[in-house]
Chains A and B, each alone.
Chain A
């Protein structure tokens, strides 16, 4: 799979002539105050917002998910893990919904294995919001079995109403090489290519 990609510096705003955007994981601004809050105010976030509004695929991975929430592009909040510790572990995931830009290449209700690595991964929203997300099929992935962070209803990836913006705590880019533990993550990127074509 070959995709032309450009790295955009957080302080830059350029005209968004892209087909998709990925906000990767990391520790933007040291996770100070709240993970993702400072980065969400960056000029580059506006590129992401424009692409999201245009229906293009936008993926936030881990810290990227936190940034999408702080930027108002996804609902809910990501709180500190209930164990109060960072967790780095390969997890079994269930694909709840394959209508999104990043899961359309998965079989519905299939399982996948990808690693998580974060301090603040406990998804939280009011009960009515969680009910709505589930009813509308906006819960994209949950943990299958063990819930390592105490996240509500095992939720580990959600999408927006149109399914083009997805935030996920697991790292698909770390599950794209069999020598590193598995290749289930590749389907996330294959889905993006498929969606962008349609």
Chain B
């Protein structure tokens, strides 16, 4: 029986690539205002998709296949994290 699962897709720059937006937010907004506790900021794009599937695993693998097929991210520059929202 199919259910609907909320699946989060987070697209961000690969860890070894720079994230100028994250760097600017950390340096020019957070550190400037005194928040030294912030060591690093990375930015990304969040998509929350409700996926119909038999179970959570199937939902996640459908999403991964779709992301690759539709080029929702560019594997050259981006990394994606797919997880179920609870």
Contacts and interface: CB of A to CB of B under 8 A. Distances in A.
Interface of A: 29-30, 32-33, 37-38, 41
Contact of B33 (A29, A32, A41): A41
Nearest to A28: B28
Interchain residue pairs A-B with the least CB separation, the first 3: A32-B24, A32-B21, A38-B29
Interface residues of B, number: 9
Interface in B49-79: none
B29 A33 contact: yes
B22 to A, nearest CB: 8
Contacts of A32: 20-21, 24-25
9 contacts: A29-B28, A30-B20, A32-B21, A32-B25, A33-B24, A38-B25, A38-B28, A38-B29, A41-B33
A163 to B, nearest CB: 31
B21 A33 contact: yes
A10 to B, nearest CB: 10
Interface string B8-32: 0000000000001100110011001
- Overall SS of chain A's interface: loop
Nearest to B41: A33
B43 to A, nearest CB: 8
A33 B25 contact: yes
B29 A37 contact: yes
Contact of B32 (A30, A33, A41): A41
A32 B42 CA distance: 12
A29 B24 contact: yes
Contacts of A29: 24, 28-29
Nearest to B24: A32
A29 B29 CA distance: 10
B24 A38 contact: yes
Nearest to A30: B24
A157 to B, nearest CB: 27
Given A32-B21, A38-B29, 5 more contacts: A33-B21, A33-B24, A33-B29, A38-B24, A38-B28
A29 B21 CA distance: 9
